[in-house]
Homo-oligomer: A and B are copies of this chain.
Amino acid sequence: MSERTKLRRLPNRGSHETEQVNAILDAAYLAHVGFSVEGQPFVIPTLFGRKEEKLYLHGSAASRMMRTLEAGVPACVTVTLVDGLVLARSAFHHSMNYRSVVAFGTARKIENEEAKSEALRIISDHLIAGRWAEARVPNSQELKATTVLEFEIEEASAKQRTGPPVDDEEDLALPVWAGVLPLRQVAGEPMADALLPAGTPVPEYVTGYKK
């Protein structure tokens, strides 16, 4: 374990288990990607997919993030899932229940059209399984306009917090409600595009979406 991913605080919340890292990555669809341009850090939200120890990112070929990352600069991909607010009796012991992964590595551009398309499928299936098989797949022109990156995870750490607040003994008698307020993401009613022929069925992977 190098200095880079050494969990400096709360080591009991940290784990380097690949399974835990992958489970958190697979439960999420949004990543925040960090990179620097001339000493200025940028953090950009983006969708991602995963296969083994590799993450796939895509974007416009003209985007600054893609052009910076494809040069192979050091990057950081962070994924965070919030599970609840932890309300302690003291302000100091307030916390969040959450799962997060911080992954370090470098990206390379996928040039081969077939590999590019396959990486896009991985991103799509990661976001909403079933959609890729139904949508029109990208043509050559669309693939050219898209940069697809393979981000090799060199090191990653997972952190999570679960469970109730942990208050100091002497605060337990305070007349303050304490506990956890669970938070989760839910999908609402699918809103059909106005141009869709009436009666077009909503696919099950949409009505039953969970992530």
Which A residues contact B (CB, under 8 angstroms)?
Answer: 4, 8-9, 30, 32-36, 39-45, 47, 60, 62-64, 74-78, 80, 82, 84-85, 87-92, 94, 96, 98, 100, 102, 104, 120, 124, 127-128, 131-132, 134-139, 142, 146, 164-165, 167, 171-172, 174-196, 200-203, 206, 209
How many copies of the shown chain assemble into the complex? 2
With A9-B60, A124-B94, A181-B206: A43-B188 Cβ-Cβ less than 8 Å: no
Contact call B135/A32, Cβ cutoff below 8 A? no
Q: Which 8 A-B pairs have the closest CB atoms?
A: A182-B188, A34-B43, A32-B32, A34-B41, A43-B78, A45-B80, A92-B142, A90-B136
CB distance from A171 to the nearest CB of B (A): 6
Given contacts A32-B32, A34-B76, A91-B124, 17 further A-B contacts (CB under 8 A): A8-B62, A41-B41, A42-B76, A85-B209, A88-B135, A92-B142, A136-B176, A164-B191, A165-B193, A172-B195, A175-B200, A178-B192, A178-B195, A178-B196, A179-B190, A182-B188, A183-B188
Interface contact A193-B181, CB-CB below 8 Å: no
B residues in contact with A35, CB < 8 Å: 41
Looking at A9, A30, A84, the one whose CB has the most chain B CB atoms below 10 A away is A9
Complex Cα–Cα for A63 and B159 (A): 14
Task: Tell me the bound Cα distance from A173 to B131 in angstroms.
Answer: 17
Report the Cα distance A3→B7, complex, angstroms. Answer: 34
Question: Which residues of the partner chain B approach A191 to less than 8 Å between Cβ atoms?
Answer: 164, 179-182
Closest beta carbon of chain B to A129's beta carbon, Å: 12
Shortest C-beta distance, A38 to chain B (Å), equals: 9
A184:B188 contact, CB within 8 angstroms: yes
